Structure 1
Amino acid sequence: MDATKGAALIAAAEIGSFTAAARQLGYTQSGITRMVASLESELGFALCIHTKQGVALTENDRRMLPHLREIVRAERVIEESGAEIRGVVSGTLTVGSYYNISAIWIPEVLSTSEKSYPGIDVALKEGGNQEMGQWLNSRAVDLCFCAKPSQGTYCDWKALYEDEIVMWLPEGHPYADAPSYPIRELEHEAFIHTLADHDMDQDRLIREEKLHIEDHYETSNGFTTYNMVEAGLGVSFNQRLINRKWQGRVKEVPFEEPRHISLGIAVPSLAEVSPAAKRFIACIERTSCRALRHWPRAAPDLPACRGHSARSRSLTESCT
């Protein structure tokens, strides 16, 4: 089976449009349509349904997508390995990035990667914990730069940074100048919830602590939440890292019993990681070391920070 046809179908399925898929892959729309039709002919059943809204997937397509991704991935690994043998570093990566990391960490990582490995093209997909788990399980990404995935996510994991979760309180709040905040007080607050029910850090902590919280407001991003707290509309909590470049009259107060979240790299399978992905992971670790000079809680075993080669270490922990 031609992996190019599989890539055409995957792009159309993910974007929901043959026209947009053609633009992304550098083909004409008719070219994409012919490739998908040829693939359907080879398999003996329909994969896509044309609608007014674009392309809808059949159940057959949903079942085939993980296998097609494997074929496309395998061809890419062969091409990258051959290029590496010839002394050329090249490849294409799809990288999932956790919302809270994207604005702070990813720009420097991508900048360093472009300078070090100009032959590696990176496509970025942003999402929350829920999306990261889905992308890893379906192998829609080569790696994720994220919080540690939940149980049931099949991947290998490398911790890079332990970030503290702190309360966001408006000025004048009874605990605004306190040394710590009792977590049970959240049950009596006007809580501002960011991306509720998306397995975000807030959802996880609320679930772990069995807190009974009534959401006063819900937002789709941390920056909106931060500004609503500043306006005195309620309280919230999040990682320290997320607002390190924001300026506002919001008090950060740690919990009485400190809570932390592990941030790092997740890959579907370390044993099958491509040469380009190995280079990019090493780039993430090197870049993290520079950034960690300003951040207080680095994972103690980050290899490049101890003067060792980042590429000589493996991701040693399973997500499951």
Structure 2
Amino acid sequence: MFEMKNIQGEEKDMTLLAYQVFLAVVEQESFQKAAQVLNLTPSAISHAVASMEAELGSALFIRSKQGVYLTNYGKELFPYIKNVQNSEEYLQQAVAQIGGMEKGVVRIGTFNSACVEWMPSLLRGFEKDYPNIRIDIYQGSYDDVYQWLKDGIVDLGFLSSTSAGDLPCTPIYQDKIICVAPQGFKTENEGYITIEELKKQRFVTQREGCDADVNHVMNKYDLPGGGGSYIADDMSAVSLVMGGFGVCLMPELVIRNIPFPVDVIPLEVEEKRTIVLAYVRSDVLAPAVQKMQSYILESFQKKAEEEQ
């Protein structure tokens, strides 16, 4: 470890390091943890933050027993400082590419079922071709991934088309919406369930930010809500269905990886969610990110051709 005051270099380098400190404190919500991540001493972190606050003339962080959090002023600066860090990373990757090396960091945001179903094989294949490019995975809800993209926390994000908002994106997969019911559930027609039947059922529902597409389908057909159950994760929802608490609608991709004894029933009407690969602006993607973006799109194109 070393004190920042002992670092020799140009003023620009000090500024970039100060920005790294700022972002590490935001992410870790702790000066101590930020120091460990950056291999600095805690006093170096405190000194860097104090210097930034003195230069800017305003506090950046609120210190409390629960952690360290951004002030409103710090929140306003955050996206700009994040952009500076990203630009530095893009520059380093461009220099490496010009020198004949493929290196860098790609940060990918993903929701749960995409992470479980696709990320292992995508990462294995990509790392085989580009061993010097590091991949960081951020898992969360649709809302999380959308905000991470907006804030520059991630470079690429898996989202549904209904949750991508104003972000540019490319469709990669059509995922059917199905009904998950307790084992032995009887439908009026063999092999599918009608909307009228669904309207008579009690539903286990997920919070809108967790499954906006299913909520869209339920609103479209005026299906009943969850009656007090607003679940944040897929496994819990299916567990409640297995226990006889109700039925739920889910994308087919979700249920593939949940090993619970439940019945999966197609809907009478075909409803799908469109999964997309989203980004902020394609013209400012770093070289390593462009490689990963192309790899993902080509992988899904190949998958679609094989399934035809």
TM-score by length of 1: 0.83
Q: Please identify which structure carries the higher helix content.
A: 2
Q: Across the two proteins, how many residue pairs are aligned to each other? A: 295
Q: Secondary structure at the match of 2:94?
A: helix
Q: What code does the residue aligned with 1:96 have?
A: G
Residues in 2 aligned to 1:234 and 1:50: alpha-carbon distance in whole angstroms: 45
Q: Is residue 213 of structure 1 aligned with residue 213 of structure 2? A: no
User: Any stretches of 5+ residues in structure 1 without a counterpart?
Assistant: 298-320
Aligned equivalents of 2:152 and 2:222: distance in 1? 32
Paired AA for residue 173 in structure 2: Y
Distance 1:225 1:136 in 2: 27
| Superposed displacement of residue 290, structure 1 | 6.2
Q: What letter corresponds to residue 254 of structure 1 in structure 2?
A: P
Tell me the distance in 2 between the aligned counterparts of 1:176 and 1:281.
45
Rate the CA distance shift 1:39–1:94 in 2: closer, same or farther, 3 A.
farther
SS in 2 for 1:215: coil
- Which one has the largest radius of gyration? 2
The reply to whether residue 10 of structure 1 matches residue 20 of structure 2 is no
Aligned partner of 1:42 in structure 2 is: 55
Matched, 1:79 2:92: yes
Relative distance call for 1:77 and 1:251 in structure 2 (3 A) is: same
2:159 maps to 1:132: no
Q: Is the 8 A contact 1:176 1:253 kept in 2?
A: no
Q: Distance in 2 between matches of 1:184 and 1:12?
A: 53
Give the equivalent residue in structure 2 for 1:171: 183
Q: What is the alpha-carbon distance in structure 1 between the residues aligned to residue 236 and residue 213 of structure 2?
A: 16
Shift of 1:93: 2.3
What amino acid is aligned across from residue 140 of structure 1 in structure 2?
A: I
Q: What SS is found at the alignment partner of 1:252?
A: strand
Identical residues among aligned pairs (%)? 25
- Aligned partner of 2:37 in structure 1 is 24
The one-letter code sitting in structure 2 at the alignment partner of 1:133 is Y
Q: CA deviation at 1:23?
A: 2.6
For structure 1, which segment, 237-246 or 18-27, has the greater mean C-alpha deviation from structure 2 after superposition?
Answer: 18-27
Question: In the alignment, which residue of structure 1 is the partner of 2:261?
Answer: 249
- Contact kept? 1:196, 1:203, Cα under 8 Å: yes
- Equivalent residue number for residue 310 of structure 1: none
Kindly state the Cα deviation for residue 272 of structure 1 after the two structures are TM-superposed.
0.9
Q: Partner letter of residue 192 of structure 2?
A: S
Residue 204, structure 1, aligned to residue 216, structure 2: yes
User: Displacement of 1:279 after TM fit?
Assistant: 1.0
3-state SS of 1:256 partner:
coil
Letter of the aligned partner of 2:281 in structure 1? S
AA at the equivalent of 1:244 = R
Structure 2's unaligned 5+ residue stretches are 1-11
TM-score scaled by length of structure 2 = 0.86
CA apart distance, 1:28? 2.9
How far apart are the structure 1 equivalents of 2:139 and 2:83?
22
Alignment correspondent of 2:104: 91
- Aligned residue for 1:156? 168
* Counterpart Cα distance in 1 of 2:16 and 2:188: 57
Aligned partner of 1:255: which letter?
A: L
1:166 touches 1:252 (CA, 8 Å); kept in 2? Answer: yes
Q: Distance in 1 between matches of 2:281 and 2:39?
A: 29
Q: Quote the Cα distance in structure 1 between the aligned partners of 2:40 and 2:106.
A: 20
**SS in structure 2 of the partner of residue 96 of structure 1:** strand
**1:109 and 2:122 matched:** yes
Name the counterpart of 1:228: 240
Q: For the residues of structure 2 that align with 1:237 and 1:136, how far apart are their CA atoms?
A: 27
Shift of 1:223: 1.9
SS in 2 for 1:7: helix
Q: In structure 1, the residue corresponding to 2:43 is in which secondary structure?
A: helix
Pairwise CA distance, 1:172: 2.8
